[in-house]
Amino acid sequence: MSSAKPETRWAVHKFGGSSLADARAFASVADLVAMSHQGHSMVVVSAMGQTTDHLMALMDAAVAGDPTDALIEQLRIDYDSIASELLGKTGMPHFEADLGDIQLLCQTLSTLRCLPRPAYDFLVGFGELWSSRLLSQYLNHRGMQASALDAREILVTRADDQTGSSAVTQQATDHGRLDVNVDLDASAQRLESWLEDPLLHGSDIIVTTGFIAATVDRMPVTLGRNGSNYSAAVFGHLLGADQVTIWTDVPGIMNADPRWVSEATTIATLSYAEALELAYFGASVLHPRTIGPLRELAIPLRIASTFEPREPGTVIGEKSGQTRSIKGVTAVTEVALLTLKGPGLARVIGSSERLFDVLKQAGISAILIAQASSEQAISVAIDDHLAERAQAAVDEQFALEISRQQIEPLQVYRQCS
Ligand code: ASP
Ligand code: MG
């Protein structure tokens, strides 16, 4: 996989919503960009503060047929006030037109009473667009040379991924869209031509949107909650960046959760494999998909704090850095353990398939799976808040066996860790 412009040195910096919560936070971000800027910088931003949640609440209200004007007005107030604090004037470019589009779409949603996937993806992505426009304007205001880039012009999702126009269900918005992946080759081509645009000459800082991408036919797609980290990793890959830094509100990846372990310290270096394990086991700083695009080109990923920018944070790369085998201790909480058991399971080919199929239909992912060799029981750990949905679905699937007492009704232990 070749990078877009091998002769240019790039660094990628990603700032999440809490690093862009208000005007003061934008100012610190601009300081950080100025401080770390050498060569060329690609700055990937999330939506400001709680904007994504606000947009989701707006869509929920529209679909429920509730009034949405006040929610839209709140967006106008919030963004006008931050724009006037940062730039000394209200009205970001396109902002009124965007609000007009949002209002129209909300009217449509309240007529349809459902949320088609493309409408969701289009609407929920405005937060990132506004952040990128505000930050690039603000950087220019402070004398830097920045341009805004809508990542939907560059990031193409893979055609075989599920970007269909079905309605958005609760579970699809809750849990990231692990079904959408960026096509790195197609995106590299688009980035290469974009970077050739003469209008860009002179801008050595590009501020782009996390979280949003587009299909080959340019239909908007989102990359799942907290997907901006993945966007940053993808841009790092496409640019062959020297490093990708995720700026966040914690000092790096810790060797234990500081809420539980007061002596927890930051881990200086981790290998990609170790980071993936920790990311999975609740080190929520890192979206698991962030590693793949970087690992392929051995690009280091640094996690650092916007509050203590001079601290080294955690650097994830090819080498583990330490010889000690235990890097960190972590836990997955809010888990329910399901056990399906009974003589009717033993030696019956396909019963585990039925169990997992019914979980799949209910949109539930298995965190852990265990089956004893006697085949009398299968245990599956899932997110605790999905326990009731799982119980109803499994008991319905095995109703016949349960009525014949070949299988017991699903056992559910709530609130495990
Ligand atoms: N703004 C999106 C979200 O809140 C994406 C991100 O923050 O990474 O999920
Ligand atoms: Mg966010």
The model's pTM is 0.84
Closest ligand by atom to 227 CA: 1
**Section 25-43 average pLDDT:** 93
pLDDT at 1: 45
Residue with CA at minimum distance from ligand 1 atom 7: 226
CB 191 within 8 A of CB 4: yes
- Is 32 a pocket residue for ligand 1 (Cβ < 6 Å)? no
What is the residue-averaged pLDDT of the chain?
89
Cα–Cα distance between 268 and 71 in angstroms, integer? 43
Gap from CA of 150 to ligand 1 centroid (Å) = 15
Which of 349, 360, 359, 223 shows the shortest CA–CA distance to 292? 223
Pair type for strands 220-222 and 212-214: antiparallel
pLDDT per residue as tens digits for the range 107-147: 999 999 999 999 999 999 999 999 999 999 999 999 999 99
SS (H, E, C) the chain: CCCCCCCCCEEEEEECHHHHCCHHHHHHHHHHHHHHCCCEEEEEECCCCCHHHHHHHHHHHHHHCCCCHHHHHHHHHHHHHHHHHHHCCCCCCCHHHHHHHHHHHHHHHHHHCCCEHHHHHHHHCHHHHHHHHHHHHHHHHCCCCEEEECHHHCCEECCCCCCCCCECCHHHHHCCCCCCCECHHHHHHHHHHHHCCHHHCCCCEEEEECCEEECCCCCEEECCCCCHHHHHHHHHHHHCCCEEEEEECCCCCECCCCCCCCCCCECCEEEHHHHHHHHHCCCCCCCHHHHHHHHCCCCCEEEEECCCCCCCCEEEECCCCCCCCCCCCCCCCCEEEEEEECHHHCCCCCHHHHHHHHHHHCCCCCCEEEECCCCCEEEEEEEHHHHHHHHHHHHHHCHHHHHCCCCCCCEEEEEEC
- Answer yes or no: is the C-beta of 47 below 6 A from any ligand 1 atom: yes
The 10s digit of each residue's pLDDT in 223-268 is 988 899 999 999 999 999 999 999 988 888 888 888 888 898 899 9
Whether residue 82 is predicted with pLDDT greater than 50 in this model: the reply is yes
Over residues 388-408, the pLDDT tens digits come to: 999 999 999 999 999 999 999
Our answer on whether the CB atom of 266 is closer than 6 Å to any ligand 1 atom is no
pLDDT at 93: 81
Phi, psi of 96 (to 5 degrees): -65, -40
Task: Indicate if ligand 1 lies below 6 Å from the C-beta of 17.
Answer: yes
Q: Which atom of ligand 1 is nearest to the CA of 223?
A: 5
Backbone φ, ψ for residue 158 (5° rounding): -70, 135
Query: Which ligand has an atom closest to residue 228 CA?
Result: 1
Candidates 215, 243, 199; CA nearest to 40 is 243
